[in-house]
């Protein structure tokens, strides 16, 4: 079994402008690609787990999301930092697109995407980490049994009060990687 690093996307990997659906709006958080490369070099299997209710809400399509994901992965590949797996939940119970209108067990704070990845790739959740910018991300990790939970990003003051026990807080992914995973990688 491999240990994994589960990462939320918007607000962790890229700047969260709200429902980012197109490449023109995708800008990496400074240092995030290098931090991802470090995690991979240390042996973490990197998994993106992202709620994409913008699809259910009709703001962009599944194809837009996949196009953006391919763009992100090309950029990350240049830094040896591409995600090993990508999971997304296009659903929301208030969605306008009937096809995607439902309460989904994959949508964080539910643990469905993490559990699906663990089953598909034989991941050791107890020795895995999860990094998010909202308490709901960390709650999904806690519900799945992920061993170490980290909050980063712009909302640490408001979200920090709602975290599962044992969670740690850093300014951003770069600071987290530098301080927690600096061993000669």
Could you give the residue numbers annotated as active site? 8, 10
Closer residue to Mg ion in complex, CB, 118/159: 159
Extract the runs of DSSP E, i.e. beta strands, from 54-142: 85-89, 129-132
Q: Report in angstroms how near the CB of residue 134 gets to Mg ion at its nearest.
A: 6
Tell me the closest approach of the beta carbon of residue 87 to Zn ion, in angstroms: 9
Among residues 81, 65, 66, the alpha carbon closest in space to that of 28 is found at 81
Question: In the sheet where 148-151 sits, what is the strand order?
Answer: 85-89, 45-51, 4-7, 129-132, 148-151, 168-169
The C-alpha R_g of the chain, in whole angstroms, comes to 15
Report how far apart, in Å, the C-alpha atoms of 74 and of each of 37, 70, 71, 79, 83 are.
14, 6, 5, 9, 10
Report which of 173, 160, 49, 156 is spatially closest to residue 110, judged by C-alpha positions.
49
Distance from C-alpha of 89 to C-alpha of 87, rounded to nearest angstrom: 7
111 binds Mg ion, rule: CB under 5 A: no
Regarding beta strands 148-151 and 168-169, do their DSSP bridges make them parallel or antiparallel, or are they unpaired?
parallel
Picked from Mg ion, Zn ion, none, the partner binding residue 11 (CB below 5 to 8 A depending on kind) is Mg ion
CB of 8 to Mg ion, least distance (A): 4
The strand pairing partners of 35, in sequence order, are none
Among 5, 6, 8, 88, binds Mg ion (CB under 5 A): 8
153 binds, among Mg ion, Zn ion, none (CB under 5 to 8 A by kind): none
Q: Does 56 bind Zn ion (CB under 5 A)?
A: no
| Residue of 20, 133, 138, 151 that binds Mg ion (CB under 5 A) | 133
Considering the complex, state which of residue 83 and residue 100 has its C-beta at the smaller distance from Zn ion: 100
159 binds Mg ion (CB under 5 A): no
Residue 91 touches which of Mg ion, Zn ion, none (Cβ within 5-8 Å per kind): Zn ion
The reply to whether 106 sits near Zn ion by the rule CB under 5 A is yes
> Of the ranges 73-81, 106-114, 116-124, 137-145, which one interacts with Zn ion (CB under 5 A)?
106-114
Tokens of 23: 């490449």
Q: Is 10 in the site for Mg ion (CB under 5 A)?
A: yes
Binding site for Zn ion (CB under 5 A): 89, 91, 104, 106
């Amino acid at each position: 079994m491999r240990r994994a690093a589960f990462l939320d996307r918007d607000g962790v990997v890229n700047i969260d402008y709200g429902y980012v659906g197109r490449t023109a709006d995708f800008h990496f958080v400074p240092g995030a690609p290098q931090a991802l490369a470090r995690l991979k070099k240390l042996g973490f299997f990197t998994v993106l787990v992202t709620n994409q209710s913008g699809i259910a809400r009709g703001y962009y399509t599944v194809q837009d999301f996949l196009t953006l994901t391919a763009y992100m992965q090309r950029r990350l590949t240049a830094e040896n930092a591409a995600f090993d797996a990508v999971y997304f939940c296009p659903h929301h119970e208030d969605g306008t697109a009937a096809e995607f209108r439902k309460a989904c067990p994959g949508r964080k704070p539910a643990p469905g995407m993490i559990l699906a990845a663990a089953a598909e790739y034989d991941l050791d959740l107890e020795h895995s980490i999860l990094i998010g910018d909202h308490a709901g991300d960390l709650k999904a990790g806690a519900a799945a049994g992920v061993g170490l939970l980290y909050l980063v990003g712009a909302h640490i003051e408001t979200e920090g009060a709602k975290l599962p026990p044992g969670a740690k807080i850093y300014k951003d992914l770069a600071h987290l990687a530098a301080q927690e995973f600096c061993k000669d990688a």
